[in-house]
């Protein structure tokens, strides 16, 4: 089976570029906050926090006054960031795990210039 790949180059307008930067910054923030919450729950109580709990945390974070800017971006990329984190920390019942099966190391916090 042959797999094909396509490369695209984007030329966003300044307004679109600003929205992309804000969205990616919010995704990074949510990922890092959820990773910190999961790490803290494991270190303090040996509790695994799943996607449902982190999704509820996201709802609460959006309601906080200091994180009010999260309402200005689409919720879809924010939820996808939580799903990416869930792949690293799946529930005990799942066989296709990453960290808990020993296939990967513990997830890292995302940095601003990490994708370059």
Domain boundaries in the chain?
18-88
Alpha carbon distance 31, 83 (integer Å):
9
Q: pLDDT by residue (tens digit) across 12-70?
A: 999 999 999 999 999 999 999 999 999 999 889 988 888 899 999 999 999 999 999 99
Q: Is the sign of the CA dihedral 73, 75, 80, 85 positive or negative?
A: positive
The conformation of residue 103, written as its DSSP 8-state character, comes to: S
Please state the pTM of the whole predicted model. Answer: 0.80
How confident is the model at residue 116, as a pLDDT? 53
């Amino acid at each position: 089976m042959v797999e094909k790949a396509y490369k695209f180059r984007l030329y966003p307008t300044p307004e679109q570029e600003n929205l992309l930067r804000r969205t990616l910054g919010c995704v990074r923030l949510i990922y890092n906050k959820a990773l910190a919450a999961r790490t803290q729950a494991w270190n303090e109580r040996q509790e695994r926090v799943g996607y449902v709990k982190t999704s509820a945390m996201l709802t609460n974070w959006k309601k906080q006054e200091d994180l009010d800017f999260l309402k200005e971006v689409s919720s879809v990329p924010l939820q996808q960031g939580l799903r990416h984190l869930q792949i690293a920390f799946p529930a005990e019942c799942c066989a296709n795990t990453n960290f808990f099966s020993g296939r990967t190391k513990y997830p890292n916090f995302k940095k601003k210039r990490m994708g370059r």
